[in-house]
Structure 1
Amino acid sequence: MTDLMAGTSEPTRRKPVSPRRNSVFTTVDLEQPGKQIGYFCVPQSPHDDAWGAVQVPLAVIKNGSGPTVLIEAGNHGDEYEGPLALGELLRDIEPSEVSGRIIAIPAINIRAVEAGTRTSPVDGLNFNRCFPGDFDGTLTRQIAAYVHDCLMPLADYFLDLHSGGSSLMILPSAIIEPSPTPEGHRLNIEATLAFGAPTVVMVDNLGETRTATAAANLQGLVVIGTEMAGGGLVSQDALAICRRGIRNVLKHAGVLKGPPELPQGANKRVLKVPGSRGYILADDDGVFEPIGQLGTIARKGELAGRIHFPRSPAREPVELRYAIDGVVFAKRQPGRVRPGNCCFVIADEYPEALAMKGRADER
């Protein structure tokens, strides 16, 4: 699976978006050639800053003609590999290497990134459940609205860099975002395979439409996601995958020269999360003991983990069992659990993606 061609996947259908009235301003010119690193500024008036603005890091690298790739990291503030790898790219890359444009937002949920939390400490919102956003809403909704209305319409590709955050450990993976059209889905699969992660997983977030990737899909962009380890840590292995993967997507789009560099073992597993059956949620308040480990085979009915009750030592632990056959894709990191907490995510085989890949290679 190392013969993926570069630079051929152009979006075929765009849904026009008219920017809504807003007061956001930038310190960079998105149309100017060269490399600029600055901010887009969202005016705010909190108690301690009457006429201030929240500065969200924004970079643009533009040279010649070619597609635009929009790259976002820091969607959740406790997911670190994406911001680190994207920051390195912005420091290292020169405009002369680029054919087209890179628009990069390395710490999009800036207040959450500063706090190291999944949700924003300003308004308590999850940025990735706020699209298409609202310029008249709170800070998180305003940032989402700017990305949705002002940046996504400029782009042909959207790369959204995630990891498991503080609450999950996840296999370092490239994520297929299901598209509403067959052609869009094919383009998403090809671009996601070009990223070159060892595991590829289709995740539809149970049909959620408020995510950044879902919003980009609806605008007709080619969409690629990631999940790079997690646990509130920085994984050196996942960081290396992310560094290479960003450049691979840029090569696939034709913004950087050459074919994607797919290491041995890239795209070794191509999986999908089969809706709600793939999630094991806690029904109890207690302490979670994982039995299953990341990347291991799950068999329906086998023991996945237990929930213990230290306040009630006479009570037997509750057993969690796999509902399907598959691979352990994600595992809860904190021991403490409450009802509704996600303890495991199981993914099963996704042969349709490989079939699409094979047909693309034949062309």
Structure 2
Amino acid sequence: MARYSNSPKPMARISTARTTIDFDKPGKQIGFVDIPHSPHEDAWGAVRIPLAVIANGTGPTVILQAGNHGDEYEGPITLGELIRTLDPATIEGRLIFLPAVNLPAVAAGRRTSPVDGLNLNRTFPGDPLGSITQQISAYVSDVIFPLGDAFVDLHSGGSSLNILPSAIVEPAPNEEHRRRNIAAVLAFAAPLSVVIDNLGDPRTATATAVRAGLTTVGTEMAGAGTVSLDAPAICRRGVRNLLAHFGVLPSGEAASPPSMRKILRIPGPDGYVLASCEGVFEPLHELGTEVKAGQEAGHIHNLTDSSRAPEVLRYAADGIVYGRRQPGRVVTGNCCATVAGPYEGDLA
């Protein structure tokens, strides 16, 4: 893995964002990225995005991000603990932490920003002169990614989905890069490893990190709008496993045996069961249940018209139930369930 240089690469686009963090300084620094913000209530204020850097020696730079969506909690908890407890003397390299990157959404506990209504993870590479959310993704794309060798983006299902805890492979068009991503995901050693390409959407943080050449790992750590009993431990252990894999922490820091090399994949549009009408969704299967294409996935009930029989939703792919909607009420197009099946790609 490449070693980091002594000075940040130049920003590709002009930005008004600023920070007092010196990315080349050894030791531990905890601060903010300030993005000027001038709403009705504050003429010359700023949105302060938490930022921390821990550096020692000449090892690789790993960027760790959480809070991309503000209703996903395991990642921010894990990164906050690492920022507070890691001793710079115990690492070899540099860690750049963005533990609540979408600060307005994190503060509101929402998937999207209450400032501009945007989903940060559909705005990359952003716009340095755009809205707050677009400026955040531009800063990550233009300033943070050029500093890194690897990128870790910690997600869960948020308020609308409960997902089996898993590490996520972001596809890469280059074979060597794809193998790097898979090796890192397997080193995380989550109970499941799943290939998710977000239906090919290029505007996500992980897709943008891949285009920047970074070894990239994502996660989905349960969700349902709360902190689950088991996912935080999986996330804490997995991040330390990754840092040992990248050589930033000693290999003895890896806190679990390697995961099985079986990898799953959401098989494109057929992997998503979408609501066909408005009502209340009644699921028929627990997470992890093996299902078949054509099998009933659940029913949507119209509670205001007792004469109407429920709509039947069916799976369109074989696999296991990987994610399931958390709130009962749905409208047309809501994702009610997801299915993950075998990944047929080369794992070597």
The SS at the match of 1:90 is helix
- The residue correspondences of 1:259-274 to structure 2 (distance < 5 A) are 261=254, 263=256, 266-267=259-260, 269-274=262-267
Once the two structures are TM-superposed, the CA of residue 263 in structure 1 deviates from its matched residue by: 3.2
C-alpha distance in 1, partners of 2:262/2:113? 34
The SS at the match of 1:179 is coil
Within the candidate set 81, 85, 97, 1:88 is matched to 81
The SS at the match of 1:59 is strand
- The residue correspondences of 1:235-246 to structure 2 (distance < 5 A) are 235-246=228-239
C-alpha distance in 1, partners of 2:345/2:334? 31
- Is 1:109 the counterpart of 2:96? The answer is no
Deviates more, 1:246-255 or 1:75-84: 246-255
- The residue correspondences of 1:176-325 to structure 2 (distance < 5 A) are 176-258=169-251, 261=254, 263=256, 266-267=259-260, 269-325=262-318
Q: How many residues align?
A: 343
1:78 maps to 71
C-alpha distance in 1, partners of 2:344/2:13? 41
Q: Which amino acid aligns with 1:255?
A: V
Contact 1:249-1:260 at 8 Å conserved across structures:
no
C-alpha distance in 1, partners of 2:158/2:255? 26
The SS at the match of 1:145 is helix
Within the candidate set 130, 137, 154, 1:137 is matched to 130
What's the TM-score once normalised by structure 1's chain length?
Answer: 0.92
Deviates more, 1:17-26 or 1:333-342: 17-26
Once the two structures are TM-superposed, the CA of residue 323 in structure 1 deviates from its matched residue by: 1.2
Contact 2:241-2:254 at 8 Å conserved across structures:
yes
Q: Which amino acid aligns with 1:101?
A: R
What's the TM-score once normalised by structure 2's chain length?
Answer: 0.95
- Structure 1 unaligned runs (5+)? 1-8, 357-363
C-alpha distance in 2, partners of 1:324/1:286? 24
- Is 1:118 the counterpart of 2:111? The answer is yes
> CA distance change for structure 1 residues 240 and 299 in 2, over 3 Å: closer, same or farther?
same
The SS at the match of 1:70 is strand
Contact 1:252-1:259 at 8 Å conserved across structures:
no
The SS at the match of 2:79 is helix
2:144 maps to 151
Once the two structures are TM-superposed, the CA of residue 269 in structure 1 deviates from its matched residue by: 4.7
> CA distance change for structure 1 residues 10 and 331 in 2, over 3 Å: closer, same or farther?
farther
1:361 maps to none
Deviations 1:103-162 (Å, cap 9, x if unpaired)?
Answer: 000000000000000000000000000000001100000010000000000000000000
C-alpha distance in 2, partners of 1:325/1:186? 26
Deviates more, 1:320-329 or 1:215-224: 320-329
- Structure 2 unaligned runs (5+)? 4-8
Deviates more, 1:16-25 or 1:206-215: 16-25
Once the two structures are TM-superposed, the CA of residue 23 in structure 1 deviates from its matched residue by: 1.3
Contact 1:61-1:103 at 8 Å conserved across structures:
yes
Within the candidate set 26, 42, 45, 1:52 is matched to 45
Deviates more, 1:222-231 or 1:244-253: 244-253
Contact 2:186-2:258 at 8 Å conserved across structures:
no
Q: Which amino acid aligns with 1:148?
A: S
Contact 1:57-1:108 at 8 Å conserved across structures:
yes
Deviations 1:187-208 (Å, cap 9, x if unpaired)?
Answer: 0000011111010000000000
C-alpha distance in 1, partners of 2:35/2:12? 15
C-alpha distance in 2, partners of 1:247/1:23? 34
Deviates more, 1:344-353 or 1:211-220: 344-353
Once the two structures are TM-superposed, the CA of residue 314 in structure 1 deviates from its matched residue by: 1.0
C-alpha distance in 2, partners of 1:182/1:321? 35
Contact 2:276-2:311 at 8 Å conserved across structures:
no
2:34 maps to 41
Once the two structures are TM-superposed, the CA of residue 352 in structure 1 deviates from its matched residue by: 2.7
C-alpha distance in 2, partners of 1:264/1:223? 21
C-alpha distance in 1, partners of 2:289/2:66? 28
C-alpha distance in 1, partners of 2:20/2:42? 20
Once the two structures are TM-superposed, the CA of residue 90 in structure 1 deviates from its matched residue by: 0.8
CA-based RMSD: 1.6
Greater RCO, CA 8 A, separation 6+: 1
Contact 1:194-1:260 at 8 Å conserved across structures:
no
- Is 1:169 the counterpart of 2:162? The answer is yes
State the identity %. 56
Deviations 1:77-98 (Å, cap 9, x if unpaired)?
Answer: 0000000011011111000011
